[in-house]
A and B are shown apart, each in its own frame.
Chain A
Amino acid sequence: MKLINTIIISFLILFTTSQFAISQEDVKIKKSDFRIEIKEVGFKDAWKNVKEGEKLFSAGLGTFPQALEHYLKAFKYNSDCAKLNYKIGVCFLATDKFYHATEYLEKAYLKDNNVTDDIHYMLARAYHLNLDFENAIEQYKAYYSSFSVKELEEFEVGVDNYIKQCKYGMDLVNNPVRVIINNLGERVNSEYDDYNPVLHPNLDIMYFTSRRETDGKDRRFEGDNKFYENVFTSEQAGDVWKKAKILDNKLDSKGNESVLTISPDGNKIYLYNGNENGGDIMVSELKKGSWKSPKGISRRILTKDKETTIAFSPDGTEMFFVSNQDGTIGGMDLFYSKLDEKEKWSEPINMGAAINTIYDEEGVYWHPKEDKVYFSSQGHNSMGGFDVFVIERDEEGMWSNPTNLGYPINSPNDDIFFKIDENGKQAYYSSVRDNGAGGKDIYKIIFLGEEKEMKLKTEDILLAWNYKPIENMFYHDPVELKVDTALFMVGLVTDSKTAEKIKLAKVEVIDLEESRVIATGLTDTAGYYQVKIGKKKDYGVEVTAKDYLFFVTMAQLSQKQVVDSKIQANFQLDRIDVGAKMVLKNIFFETNKAALKEESTAELQRVAGLLLDNPTIRLEISGHTDNVGSYRANQKLSEARAKSVVDYLVQQGVAEDRLEYKGYSFNQPIADNNTAEGRAQNRRVEFKVLSK
């Protein structure tokens, strides 16, 4: 294994170590590796880009983004060049677009398994940063096994911690904490590294450190080819931060400086000055609206070694700071000091192995109100790079073991300079996350409480009626009412002479308009009858009874009163006695002739019926006229008419010997012949009972 071309590079030398802490190989892309023999077109420009990229890549991390731009242009010419893919992957790995790195590094390995000595390491880093812990572990192990025993004895390969980080990462990712992490946006963050946010106690001003270019004359730090640090500030306007600007130039040390913290009253600002004494903590006071030149803090704190971040207890009597001064367990450690009775800072105490590790601890911060101290560490159960941890002091003054704040606050990248508000609801810190503005960015963490069930609302129209009422659904066709329209004709049938009630007399009601019998009834033993009639109007009525002459009349019911649906009509019958007479009112003849008219039939049938029902009686049929004309002529006519009746009766089956006929001319008038009405009555046929 050759390590000749391997160079050691540190990112953020003032605060953090690189994710490329082990190495990355500056393998050179040869023309013969890159050139495609049959493809001359575009080679010249592509090769030019390769050379530019190589130059920028070699310069250091600070120009990796620019190198990447050239490599990607060259990639269009030859996308199969293993070394070019490797370089592109490595460049991506150094940016906030590290998620692209895997694709290129995998291709580099696919095209040439030995593209570089550290291809497994770079693949491992790419998988690690992209939370693909299983593949990362596999690649770390592959990288480790690529060393010979001798090399392993000579060099500290150091993948063990990465493998541990991957294992911790699996656990942390499986148990995420509920937070929202928002990039503060391009008004604050730049394409360069931006970190260590410090909020003014009023929360309306943010100080932070940036390695951005300020005026085009900025120098780059040789170590990483990035610009030197400067302190910037941004003011909050509503929900947004205004465009950041560089802080008062009196704080500019011409080298690296970074803002660390600010006093609760906002009048003191603590800064890191990389030029002082290996790196010291300075303080500047705000007087008459401007910051005074920074001065070093207590000599007990500052040493020839590096002191970086500092945090004070809420009452200002205690402090934590980070240093690699004597007594460090490894790299940068947390130290503790407190004011003594003389208001002097006590000799710093290393917080010990429970809190400090052999790796770096950085970015210490004391909760504004509570005994909680936040810091970042590459040790403990970090999932990669710096992770944020918290320690708490109990009532007996003992500090707890560090607790990882969890995923997604922490990531396999550096998560550092965590500053939480007094309510514990939101915090700011620096991290490298997908799609940032570039490099390290400042993020705001919003701590969500317990997961809450969100209430969606649905509604149905449960009742069809409520969706579309059927307007006429209520309506039902009406139904006719039963109406009792029956009308009865009732009455008594009695003997005309004795007034005796006649039982079983038959009463027939004849509708004269329709010429038909519409109802028939019989008298009861009390001589009472009841027949149903249709309407209140005049009807013909025929009453017959055994031993009685039939009786036919016009019942003028229309003239009568209805009482309880009944109209009273009584009838008297003449008993069949010798000598009894009956005028046959409904027998009609041709004028001055003896021929019977057809409408006489009904009356003639009654007479025939009387004779047939009473087979012993004998009748005399007599004809009568008025006195108009001679007696002889009338006698002849009356007799002929009587004979016509007899003839009809005989035709109906009545024995001839039971009948006699006689014409009486106008000798037996029954009415006044001086009136027309009287004469009409005198023109008649009668019968008389001769014997029974």
Chain B
Amino acid sequence: MKRISITLFSIFLVFISFAQTGNSIEEEIKELQKKAKLIYNEGVRLAQEGKLTEAHLKFDAALFILPEFAYPYVERAKIKILNQEIDLAKKDIEKAIEINDNVGEAFYLRGYLKLLEDDYQNALTDFTHAIQKEYTKAEAYYYRGLMNFEMNDYNSALIDFTMAIDKKYDYAYAFNDRGSSKRMLGDYHGAIHDYTQALSYDSTIIVAFDNRASCKIKTGDFQGAIEDYTLAIEKDSEFYLALNNRGYAYYLMGNFESALKDFTRAIEINKEYAPAYNNSGITKIKMQNYLGAEDDLNKAIELDAEYGEAYMNRGYAKEFLGKFPAACADWQMAKDLGIEEAEKYLTECE
């Protein structure tokens, strides 16, 4: 009995000893956490002052003290992204999420890197996580809007861009892109309004001129469209898409000479741009230069062997040249490439 009592007393002492030791480690950890946070905050202040290299060192130091500290990884990743050290940034972001999956900005950054890799689905998921974890900055909504747009979910994109604008009233990019969402949903007047807003906040968004012009075409305002395309071209004389589009507007107005001039200029700027060859070819058909048209359409197809419309159009050029078997071969090719109208014209080949 006495022996038992002594043993129990010994165990009690050991327990007390362990308890005291546990408290000590916990306190040490808390102290380390506090120290790490303080160093982290120093890094934050440096980053706010734009001293990113010094900030990076502080984040390194914080992580040296406390390797399981998510925030320095996040901030370090941001600096690495700015320094184009993408792989290293990814590692930091993954580590941050591994340590603490409630850090919304880590998901936001991971989404951003996936966006850069065109991995839209996963980027969308990450931006959604970021927003759910209360990382609700305008850019988080904007980027998610981009992803929704790229994945053809224009309604969701519209909502996201609206949220981004709600967070940042002068968010010119979000206005432009919301305009494009409206356009894809058939609201051309709404789109024109948004493009105008975008330009009022940032007149260097040249695509907004181009996009507004294309919507004006949809509303039948060809002259207004040409004016907008011209503004875009004046601001960027190498903007071959706007030249191609203005050519299209001229074409619709029956001004084939001006149209051809624009298509030709677009080709001069970008010799690899197949649609300009296609459009030039069509315009030449209208101008009864069928051989010239055939040459242009040959070039369009040479540049893009999967260009179904160009095969269709080359078929027309060949028809005008009396090259019926060749025309039929082109329409067959167009059909094979998914151009449904080709089937109708192939009946003429029977």
Contacts and interface: CB of A to CB of B under 8 A. Distances in A.
B1 to A, nearest CB: 36
B312 interface: yes
Nearest to A483: B37
B244 interface: yes
Interface in A422-460: 423, 425-426, 444, 446, 448-450, 452-460
Contacts of B207: 460-464, 467-468
Contact of B205 (A458, A464, A483): A464
Contacts of B177: 462-465
A477 B47 contact: yes
A616 interface: no
A404 B214 CA distance: 45
B233 to A, nearest CB: 14
A423 B45 CA distance: 83
B180 A458 contact: no
A682 B198 CA distance: 86
Given A454-B316, A456-B278, A477-B47, A463 B210 contact: no
Contacts of A480: 40-41, 44-45
B319 A448 contact: yes
Contact of A481 (B37, B112, B150, B312): B37
Nearest to A463: B177
Given A423-B324, A426-B324, A460-B241, A483 B41 contact: yes
A473 B139 contact: yes
Contacts of B278: 455-457
B98 to A, nearest CB: 19
Contact of B27 (A425, A452, A459, A564): A564
A592 interface: no
A472 B109 CA distance: 12
A299 interface: no
A475 B211 CA distance: 28
Given A180-B320, A446-B319, A456 B279 contact: yes
B324 A461 contact: no
Contacts of A468: 205, 207
A459 B275 contact: yes
A459 B319 contact: no
Interface residues of B, number: 70
A481 B210 contact: no
Interface string B213-224: 010000000000
A625 to B, nearest CB: 48
A444 B320 CA distance: 11
Nearest to A485: B34
Interface in B1-58: 23, 27, 30-31, 34, 37-38, 40-41, 43-45, 47-48, 55
A554 interface: no
B160 interface: no
Nearest to B263: A456
Contacts of A483: 34, 37-38, 41
A478 interface: yes
Nearest to A451: B316
A449 B315 CA distance: 12
B96 interface: no
A661 to B, nearest CB: 51
B94 interface: no
Interface in B174-228: 176-177, 180, 183-184, 198, 205-208, 210-211, 214
Interface residues of A, number: 46
Contacts of B245: 458-460
Given A462-B177, A475-B82, A452 B316 contact: yes
A485 B38 contact: yes
A52 B233 CA distance: 61
Contacts of A472: 82
A179 to B, nearest CB: 10
A464 B176 contact: yes
B320 A448 contact: yes
A452 B344 CA distance: 10
B322 to A, nearest CB: 4
Contact of A477 (B31, B48, B309, B312): B48
Given A450-B348, A463-B180, A476 B248 contact: no
Identify the interface centre among A452, A478, A480: most chain B CB within 10 Å of its CB.
A478
Given A459-B275, A474-B109, A454 B321 contact: no
A444 B322 contact: yes
Contacts of A470: 173
Identify the interface centre among A450, A457, A475, A485: most chain B CB within 10 Å of its CB.
A457
Interface in B142-168: 143, 146, 149-150
Contacts of A446: 319-322
B333 to A, nearest CB: 14
Contact of A465 (B146, B198, B248): B146
Contacts of A450: 344-345, 348
A268 to B, nearest CB: 27
15 contacts: A450-B348, A454-B282, A455-B309, A458-B214, A459-B275, A462-B184, A464-B172, A472-B82, A473-B139, A474-B81, A474-B143, A478-B48, A480-B45, A481-B40, A481-B71
Interface of B: 23, 27, 30-31, 34, 37-38, 40-41, 43-45, 47-48, 55, 71, 75, 78, 81-82, 105, 108-109, 112, 137, 139, 143, 146, 149-150, 172-173, 176-177, 180, 183-184, 198, 205-208, 210-211, 214, 241, 244-245, 248, 251, 275, 278-279, 282, 285, 290, 309, 312-313, 316, 319-324, 341, 344-345, 348
Given A460-B245, A462-B207, 4 more contacts: A182-B322, A458-B245, A477-B47, A481-B37
- For the complex of A and B, the 4 pairs showing the least CB-CB separation, nearest first, are A462-B180, A449-B348, A455-B309, A457-B275
Interface of A: 180, 182, 239, 423, 425-426, 444, 446, 448-450, 452-465, 467-468, 470-481, 483-485, 562-565
